[in-house]
Amino acid sequence: MVEPLVSVHMITYNQASSIGQAIEGVLQQKTNFPFELVIGEDYSTDDTRKIAFEYQRKFPQIVRVIASDQNLGLTKNTYRTELACRGKYIAYCEGDDYWHDPGKLQVQADYMEAHPECGLVHSDYDRRSIVSGDVIRNFNQAMNNKPPDNMDIVTILRGGSSLYILTCTVMVRRDILLKVINSDPALYQYDIYKTVDTLRWAEIAHLSGTHYIGKSLATYNVSPNSLSKPADPIAQLQFSTSVSSGFIYLIDKYNLSELERQYHLNKWFQSAIPLAFYQRDKQFTRSIYNMKQRFTIKERIFIRGISSEIIYRSISIYKYIRNQGRLSSLKKYPKNI
């Protein structure tokens, strides 16, 4: 079997409705080098596994399915699929997104080959709402986002999980990636934090250069109930709290400035305090008290509401009414999703 220059990393779970399009976007790539598609199928309960193996049978020289006999979860599935990749470079496309540009791999690999100092290259993308079907093309350009080259950890963490580097647009050097993920097993092999992709990119940027291509090469499908944008308000708060915790972990790991730590700690408080309120978690609240010296009036109301049934019910009713109004606006103006 010919060694691929690029391995395409695709993890999937219960994505029967989208996995075919994701795979086709990879198979349509026009390159002057061999590439492979490695699919980490995480014990789906729908037809995702069946579809993945059908493509492997049709394209055995390109497609390899890494299956499991139990659900491993996002972090472990991502890690084992990365280890299965053989290419000099690894490009990412999860099973609910797709590449609309058949020249994506060629453009990115050409740049990486010509710039050995670069460990990560990414690009602009189209953002599509699954609910309305509306598409914002060249999203970064449309939003006036201008990701710079050679971003450092601070820039990436301040940018958030999708503002600067979106996973379905990324290609990395495999040797640098393996150095990062194998040096910190607790972070990259266990489900401690959400969206560890951003943590990967930040650590790669610490070891090498990065490059941004201002052309849309991939389509990011926005679901109303995804990992990063769950429909349940408590799940939203859990996600945001976990993301901020991961960012703080990296800040401590690399001894970044106290200013950066405080910035992300404040972000953590913004989600952790209402999360403690909705879960009525007194132990979590005590840990927050030990970390934070001063509270705003709004934060004090949340804290008091954990023990006060009247305050708790009043805030819950207010949030419900406001959320219903927001959902009504979204239905009226689907392009705002």
pLDDT in tens, 220-265: 999 876 666 777 888 999 999 999 999 999 999 999 999 999 999 9
- Whether 50 and 172 map to the same domain: the answer is yes
pLDDT of 334 reads 36
- Last-in-domain residue among 195, 222, 249: 222
* Angle subtended at Cα 44 by Cα 39 and Cα 47, rounded to the nearest 5 degrees: 90
Of 189, 222, 255, the domain-final residue: 222
245 and 104 share one domain: no
Q: What is the pLDDT of residue 294?
A: 85
* 151 alpha-carbon distance from chain centroid: 18
For residues 47 and 233, the model is more confident at: 47
1 lies in a domain? no
Q: Is 147 in contact with 212 (CB distance < 8 Å)?
A: yes
For Cα atoms 39, 199, 288, give the angle at the middle one, nearest 5 degrees.
125
Instruction: Let me know if residue 75 belongs to a domain.
Output: yes
Residue 228 lies in a domain: no
Q: Provide the sign of the torsion angle of the four alpha carbons 111, 112, 113, 117, taken in this order.
A: positive
CATH of the domain at 76: 3.90.550.10
Q: Which of 222, 249, 273 is the last residue of a domain?
A: 222
pLDDT digits (tens, 9 = 90+) for 108-147: 999 999 999 999 999 999 999 998 999 999 999 999 888 9
Dihedral angle of Cα 260, 175, 177, 147, to the nearest 10 degrees: 60
pLDDT of residue 330: 37
Confidence (pLDDT) at 318: 59
Give pLDDT, residue 278.
85
The answer on 168 and 304 residing in a single domain is no
C-alpha span between 62 and 1 (Å, rounded): 10
The predicted pLDDT at position 225 comes to 67
170 plus 314 within the same structural domain: no
Confidence (pLDDT) at 323: 61
pLDDT of residue 322: 63
What pLDDT, on a 0 to 100 scale, did the predictor assign at position 101?
98
What's the confidence (pLDDT) of residue 237?
92
Report DSSP state, residue 190: S
Residues 158 and 64 in one domain: yes
pLDDT at position 163 is 61
Measured between alpha carbons, how far is 199 from 246 in angstroms, rounded to an integer? 7
pLDDT tens string 149-196: 999 999 999 986 446 799 999 999 999 999 999 999 999 999 999 889
Domains: count for the chain: 2
**What residue numbers bound the domain in which 255 lies?**
233-336
Residues 199 and 69 in one domain: yes
Place of tokens 């993920």: 181
Q: For 67-105, how does the pLDDT look when each residue is reduced to its tens digit (9 = 90+)? A: 999 999 999 999 999 999 999 999 999 999 999 999 999
Residues 192 and 324 in one domain: no
Whole-angstrom Cα distance, residue 285 to residue 278?
11
DSSP state of 168: G
pTM listed for this prediction = 0.89
